Amino acid sequence: MRVIVLGSGVIGTSVAYYLARSGHDVTVIDRQPGPALETSYANAGEVSPGYSAPWAGPGVPMKAIKWLLMQHSPLVVKPMLDAALWRFCLQMLANCNAEAYEVNKSRMVRLAEYSRDCLRELRDETGIRYDERTRGTLQLFRTQKQLDGVAKDIEVLKSSGVPFEVLDRKGFVEVEPGLAETQHKFVGALRLPGDETGDCFKFTQSLAKMAEALGVRFRFGVAIEGLEQAGSRITGVRTAEGLLTADQYVVALGSYSTALLARFLGKGGLAAGGEVKDGGNPTVSGRFGPGQVVKY
């Protein structure tokens, strides 16, 4: 099958690698001169399934108001007449309760755990190196209130079977002796031994080379302008270098995916293969629609 993957960040490149490994004829298009030069270039490098959590949660609306009033605010919302923005805010608000938080977090943890296990399998299979470390992560808490606040997360970790430890000062200094001098600044820690870290840019650059060795063609410096559609089928990708066609299309443009698919969203979904269907949730890369982020 001929497949065009739109975007060569960590998601597009991984999809291309797995499709080529399954014997498909894959072309990847990206406007940058190489893989992983946008969001996947410099992230925090955490592979932390246990920390996967929805932004929407109990207490977030009050926190958001406080943040918006801060001088160096971690949250900026430009009020404008944009239906998509207000629809997003209302959906966010509707999910700021304990029930929705638990459901959304448990789904994200399951997905992230599966993704982490695929990463381990890929590492064993290919020997890919990306400054990875597999010694877990430690979240430190400055106040008792913060430490008490992870109780709801711990319930999800327990129900998802994710190993964890809640550590006191003696405990986290044993795990990380470098904290001995500053232990008085923290009341405790949550350790997730199954977590890892690594360089997402290096990972994606190396995986792209492996995908190329499997026959994947990367077309860099090509801007995507839109999708061609005939009836209920996507029939091609309009680019600055002309129309490109395939049997199937995977959209992995990161935060730019929604804009490309905007005219499809809300009019019924896209099923795998770019066919428009009524009433379904939008699915683009065969499994997840825009807005559901899989952390690499």
Q: How far is the CB of 206 from ligand FAD (least distance, A)?
A: 15
Distance CA 252, CA 237 (A): 13
Q: How far is the CB of 208 from ligand FAD (least distance, A)?
A: 11
Residue 253 binds ligand FAD, judged by CB under 6 A: yes
- Contact window for ligand FAD (CB under 6 A) among 10-18, 177-185, 228-236, 278-286: 10-18
Q: How far is the CB of 42 from ligand FAD (least distance, A)?
A: 7
8 A C-beta contact, residue 294 and residue 112: yes
Residue 292 binds ligand FAD, judged by CB under 6 A: no
Residue 40 binds ligand FAD, judged by CB under 6 A: yes
Please tell me the count of residues contacting ligand FAD according to CB under 6 A. Answer: 28
In this chain, which residue has its C-beta nearest to ligand FAD? 9
Residue 254 binds ligand FAD, judged by CB under 6 A: yes
Which pairing describes strands 196-197 and 46-47: parallel, antiparallel, or unpaired?
A: antiparallel
16, 26, 30, 136: residue in contact with ligand FAD (rule CB under 6 A): 30
Residue 43 binds ligand FAD, judged by CB under 6 A: yes
Give residues 45-104 in contact with ligand FAD (rule: CB under 6 A).
45-46
C-beta pairs of 238-247 under 8 Å, 24+ apart in sequence: 239/29, 244/4, 244/27, 244/29, 245/4, 246/2, 246/3, 246/4, 246/27, 247/1, 247/2, 247/3, 247/273
27, 39, 229, 292: residue in contact with ligand FAD (rule CB under 6 A): 39
Q: Return the SS3 of 158.
A: helix
19, 208, 211, 252: residue in contact with ligand FAD (rule CB under 6 A): 252
Q: Quick one: 44 or 151, whose CB is closer to ligand FAD? A: 44
Question: CA quadruple 64, 70, 73, 78: dihedral positive or negative?
Answer: positive
Structure tokens at 13: 């490149």
Q: How far is the CB of 296 from ligand FAD (least distance, A)?
A: 5
Structure tokens at 3: 């497949």
* β-pair partners for 190: 139, 166
Burial (CB count within 10 angstroms: exposed 0-12, middle 13-18, buried 19+), residue 11: buried
What is the residue type of 286? G
Which pairing describes strands 248-251 and 242-244: parallel, antiparallel, or unpaired?
A: unpaired
Q: Quick one: 58 or 113, whose CB is closer to ligand FAD? A: 113
8 A C-beta contact, residue 195 and residue 46: yes
Give residues 211-230 in contact with ligand FAD (rule: CB under 6 A).
223-224
Q: Quick one: 246 or 252, whose CB is closer to ligand FAD? A: 252
Can you give the binding site for ligand FAD, defined by CB under 6 A? 7-12, 29-32, 36-40, 43-46, 223-224, 252-254, 256, 293, 295-296
